[in-house]
Amino acid sequence: MQVLTTTLAGVLLLEPTPHRDDRGLFTRTFDDETASRAGLDPRSFVQDSQSRSVRGVVRGLHGRTGSGEAKLVRVAHGAVHDVVVDARPGSPTFGRWEAFLLDDVDFRVLHVPRGCLHGHQTLTETSDVCYRIDAEHDPTEDVAVHHLDPHLGIEWPQPVTVVSARDDAAGSWTRLVDRLSSR
């Protein structure tokens, strides 16, 4: 497994080497030693979650205030356009976003650090996205920014077909920045 840096501070892409043959494939989706060498504490991840979505669905942009949460994100089935927004005041990449293709071909795993917003759009008929999270969920810390926020200008590759009522009612990037700066 290889660890790749990205343009966002602390965001890492872990790239496994799937072994393919006439039966299909086998791949390692997490490796304790690789994570440790990359500066991650493998024992810190306390929760695994999964979402299933249909083509065009956007989930996010979600994050947490307070101590936040870090997560490892991968796709077990299908493909997604995965987006991370740096919402960490003081970070050299604050306010910037980067997109990644996560799929069931390359099996890349994305490390999203604490303080970042995260979302994705399903590019295939269905997708199963798996999350390994390093903090118990505290709904009082949940924050969301609308996926079409003009200040962020995120480019979604397909027409957006469905978003949840919560995500559709999400606030603006400007409002989140004001909230973060008043802490």
Catalytic residue among 62, 111, 137, 146: 62
**Bridge partners of 62?**
118, 144
131 belongs to the catalytic site? yes
What pLDDT score does 167 carry?
97
- Contact between 102 and 5 (Cβ < 8 Å): no
What pLDDT score does 61 carry?
97
The sheet carrying 79-86 orders its strands as: 97-103, 79-86, 116-122, 58-64, 142-144
Domains observed in the chain: 2-181 (2.60.120.10)
pTM for the complete prediction?
A: 0.92
Q: How far apart are alpha carbons 15 and 163 in whole angstroms?
A: 29
Element (H, E) at 83: strand 79-86
What pLDDT score does 90 carry?
93
Among 141, 113, 138, 132, smallest CA distance to 38 is for 113
Catalytic residue among 131, 137, 146, 151: 131
- Contact between 134 and 69 (Cβ < 8 Å): yes
What pLDDT score does 4 carry?
93
Q: How far apart are alpha carbons 146 and 167 in whole angstroms?
A: 6
87: number of Cβ within 10 Å? 25
Per-residue confidence of the chain (183 residues) as pLDDT tens digits? Answer: 899 999 999 999 999 989 988 988 888 888 889 999 999 998 898 999 999 999 999 999 999 998 889 999 999 999 999 999 999 999 999 999 999 999 999 999 999 999 999 999 999 999 999 999 999 989 999 999 999 999 999 999 999 999 999 999 999 999 999 998 887
